[in-house]
A and B are shown apart, each in its own frame.
Chain A
Amino acid sequence: EVQLVESGGGLVQPGGSLKVSCAASGFTFSSYSMNWVRQAPGKGLEWVSYISSTSSTTYYADSVKGRFTISRDNAKNSLYLQMNSLRAGDTAVYYCARDGNSYFEYWGHGTLVTVSS
């Protein structure tokens, strides 16, 4: 059974940094591209970032480019999102999602990041 479990969310001050993680199991993690998708409270879904299976290719939404960095450790079956220069508008539930080449095939339960003073 495919499982994606996010962790690392919490309260951070504006301008601060936070790193969220996603632990994958139930599939060969190193064979799949991965994504981060976020959802602000009461709002819709927003794709954040993509990383290929070998980390050779990454993409970012314009809203986070230059501030967020996606990475992965295939030996640890883990996906990460380093978030710097956080703003109130980054407050959201952050989901990791396995890539299906043109769709998000499996989703984790999400981790809440709150940016507030």
Chain B
Amino acid sequence: QSVLTQPPSVSAAPGQKVTISCSGGSSNIGNNYVSWYQQLPGTAPKLLISENNKRPSGIPDRFSGSKSGTSATLGITGLQTGDEADYYCGTWDNSLSGRVFGGGTKLTVL
């Protein structure tokens, strides 16, 4: 049981837009930055979004992040088959004094 809640899977057609939610509480998302990670099949995770909505160098602007209260959202526009991956949200939890992740969301581009 993960501290942060994500939908297990989402799907959309190529070229469409998809959003992935990440729900937490006041001890984690509500008072800390959220980051997002992409894990392509068989590879290590890669940072997609830091500090709620910042894209590292090299990440296309098709990827965006937002946060409101105790929830965060990853948005991906112009979906490509190469975007098929597992996506994870993460943050710090003040009660646990440690980092926490969501359970992950598998994106399928139909």
Partner-B contacts on A (CB < 8 A): 35, 37, 44-47, 50, 59-62, 95, 100, 102-110
Chain B, range 70-110, C-beta contacts under 8 Å to A: 86, 88, 90-92, 96-104
List 20 A–B pairs whose Cβ atoms lie within 8 Å, in order of A's numbering: A44-B88, A45-B39, A45-B90, A46-B101, A50-B99, A59-B97, A60-B98, A95-B44, A100-B35, A100-B47, A102-B33, A102-B51, A103-B33, A103-B50, A104-B37, A105-B47, A105-B50, A107-B45, A108-B44, A109-B43
Q: What bracket does the count of chain B residues touching chain A fall in?
A: 20 to 34
Complex contact B45–A95 (CB within 8 A): yes
Partner-A contacts on B (CB < 8 A): 2, 32-33, 35, 37, 39, 43-47, 50-51, 56, 86, 88, 90-92, 96-104
Q: How far is the CA of A59 from the CA of B98 in the complex (A)?
A: 7
> Which among A46, A47, A106 has the greatest number of chain B C-beta atoms within 10 A?
A47
A-B contact count (CB 8 A): 65
What distance in Å separates the Cβ of B28 from its nearest Cβ neighbour in chain A? Answer: 12
Complex contact A45–B33 (CB within 8 A): no
Complex contact A45–B98 (CB within 8 A): no
Q: How far is the CA of A109 from the CA of B42 in the complex (A)?
A: 10
What distance in Å separates the Cβ of A67 from its nearest Cβ neighbour in chain B? Answer: 15
Complex contact B44–A109 (CB within 8 A): yes
What distance in Å separates the Cβ of B12 from its nearest Cβ neighbour in chain A? Answer: 22
